[in-house]
Chains A and B, each alone.
Chain A
Amino acid sequence: MLPDRAAMDDVLRSPVPFALWTVGDQCLLHHWLDHAVNLGMEKVQVFTADRPAAVRGLLQESTLWPLEIEFRSIPRDEDAPATAITVDWLPWEENPPAARSGWEMLDRAAAMEKLWLDRLLESEDYDLLSIGASCSIHPEAELVPPYFIGDHVSIGPGCRIGPYAVIGEGSVVCGANVVAHSHLSARSFLGPVTALEHCRLENGVLLSLKNRTRLDEVEPHLVSSTVRRESPVPWRERFDALRIYLKMRGTEAPQGEFQTFNGLTLPGDPARGGLRNRVGWLPLVWQGKLRLYGVLPRTNEQLEALDPDWRGTLRHAPAGVFSYADCLGCHSPDDPEEALHAAYQASLPPDSLAGQIHAYVRNLSFQNLNRSPE
């Protein structure tokens, strides 16, 4: 069972659940899959209440392990079977008390990484496993075990890497750097003459575990990330939105505007606008602020009115102009059935129902919208 720590994660604000955080060379859940393989298991059941779509997506890509993996989305952690093992620590170690805050979650991740590196150092293949493929390491760089350097990493002259350093895949460490007791996520950039100790550099966000500090904006020549920030709205969806917008010309949009629970201002009436609201939302897709296909946007009141189990799932689900609930005739978040369909949609990877919703939108007769309010 992957525990739901979403509400606690107020420091790293990770887009994925805690069990999907990287510990050493792979995410925590993958360490557990390794453990299952070593125990000779053939089937694994995964339960989670926290961002099930992200977990399901990861498990679909986890073809490396010769295991039959069954995934179940549950409303709350308590709904997992009593025999389920909580995945918030490394499988071969005794589990310490659970984290109680965002910083404690980061401390926990750092402690797990330290244990993992100690274990890696004890392995007889440490020399083969501690440095990934196609790395460029300057001869003047000093590597202090234990450390782990991922694939395609460049380390410049005069660097001291380790002890307890993890450098993610594709990272660049320029030169005269010190990286100790720290974790650099994949495709990080560390400028020259910069020292990181007891830090976590995650996609360009620098977190000091020692000083309990989060730095969102750092000069890019010091630390940054080469991860291409993917646009939240794919261009294909933007063009589709433009096409639908042109098709919907003439539809009378309801007056007024409302604010969603995550701060997005949308034109229309959240309660009675129904499908007619969507005319005004389409330009936001073009601007990259809203997906074309996602769960329906909710006001804070509409979110709070939901069952607490669904609230957590829907809080993290990407909102869109058209939803799976629309295909089933539920066009307003005030409709109790809409929440059921939204929770189902939120438990699947973002694009898995896009084809079905796209077909619904294609067959939608916009001329009728002016006659019917919903």
Chain B
Amino acid sequence: MKIDPAVYWSQINQDGEVERWIRGARRKMLVWNSTIMIARAMKRGLDLGGSIGALIAFSPIFAITALLIKLEDRGPVFFRQNRVGAGGRLFGMWKFRSMVVNADQIKDQLLAVNQHGESGVTFKMKDDPRITKVGKWIRKLSIDEFPQFYNVLCGDMSLVGPRPPLPREVAEYKASHLRRLRVKPGITCLWQIGGRSEIDFEGQVRLDLQYIRSSSVSFDFLILLKTLPAVLFGKGAY
């Protein structure tokens, strides 16, 4: 847009020009504010539609998984864990139980073999002895994450967004890591379709920031589509 400021400002005294400009400015502000609101509404709409659709479509899988977990060790089917959500607020995240009932107590003994380092912010290891037989399969196929569609329906989470960390992980964060908590957490994000657990924590944060910067409904849709093969082939999940 090449405008000569002198030509532009010479119009200022023309009859009705200023009023027309003011109307134009107000319209522009209104359009932009509406655009922001529509983008937010579309994101929430995608979350609502997606979560309701997923809860209905996967209901047979829910029933079979619940039955298998119950049959294996008679323990609870679901596992509710405190996670840190948007703006650092805590919420209860639902999962299918894939570990033995006293998994947290055993974890302290396993810190030395943490794949993300002994003092790593997150904990991951291959062949974790706390995982049950059913748990191994539901984790491989990411079925353990399916109850999170309920969290999405409630508005604690979104379909796409940075994974919600544990409070003890956030306690180890540096200020630059906190930026990933400024948006609603999600079930899947860029690092899940990229390499899942093989990406280290700094890489995850970088991918989360990349997502936050580029987020839009169409980008969310693309990530959801790319998540399907990542889940079906179980790449990086253990």
Contact = CB atoms under 8 A, between A and B. Distances in A.
Asked if A and B bind, the verdict is: yes
Interface of A: 33-35, 37-38, 61, 63-66, 123, 125, 128-129, 131-134, 140, 152, 154, 156-158, 170, 172, 174-176, 189, 191-193, 219-221, 224, 226
Given A64-B181, A128-B213, A156-B1, A221 B173 contact: no
Contact of A189 (B3, B25, B182, B209): B25
A367 to B, nearest CB: 48
The list of the 4 closest CB pairs from A to B, nearest first, reads A34-B175, A158-B1, A221-B21, A157-B1
A132 to B, nearest CB: 7
Contacts of A38: 174-175
B37 to A, nearest CB: 10
A56 to B, nearest CB: 17
A133 B183 contact: yes
Contacts of B174: 37-38
17 contacts: A38-B174, A63-B87, A66-B167, A128-B206, A128-B209, A134-B39, A152-B36, A158-B3, A172-B28, A174-B28, A176-B3, A191-B25, A192-B8, A221-B21, A224-B25, A226-B29, A226-B33
Contacts of A140: 1
B32 interface: yes
Contact of B29 (A65, A158, A189): A189
A115 B144 CA distance: 47
Nearest to B178: A64
A175 B36 contact: no
A189 B206 CA distance: 31
Given A66-B171, A125-B206, A220-B26, A192 B3 contact: yes
Nearest to B169: A66
A170 B33 contact: yes
Most chain A Cβ neighbours within 10 Å, of B89, B179, B213: B213
A276 to B, nearest CB: 46
Nearest to A193: B8
Nearest to A37: B175
Contacts of A224: 25, 29
A139 B39 CA distance: 21
A65 B26 CA distance: 37
A111 B89 CA distance: 33
Nearest to B171: A66
Which secondary structure dominates chain B's binding surface?
Answer: helix
Contacts of A131: 213
A371 B213 CA distance: 67
A99 B171 CA distance: 36
B25 A221 contact: yes
A172 B3 contact: no
Contacts of A221: 18, 21-22, 24-25
Contacts of A63: 87-89
Contacts of B182: 64
Nearest to A156: B1
Contacts of B26: 220
A172 B29 contact: yes
A140 B3 CA distance: 13
A174 B28 CA distance: 8
A193 B25 contact: no
A134 B215 contact: yes
B176 interface: yes
A174 B25 CA distance: 9
Contacts of B33: 170, 226
Nearest to A33: B175
B230 interface: no
A140 to B, nearest CB: 6
B18 to A, nearest CB: 7
Nearest to B168: A66
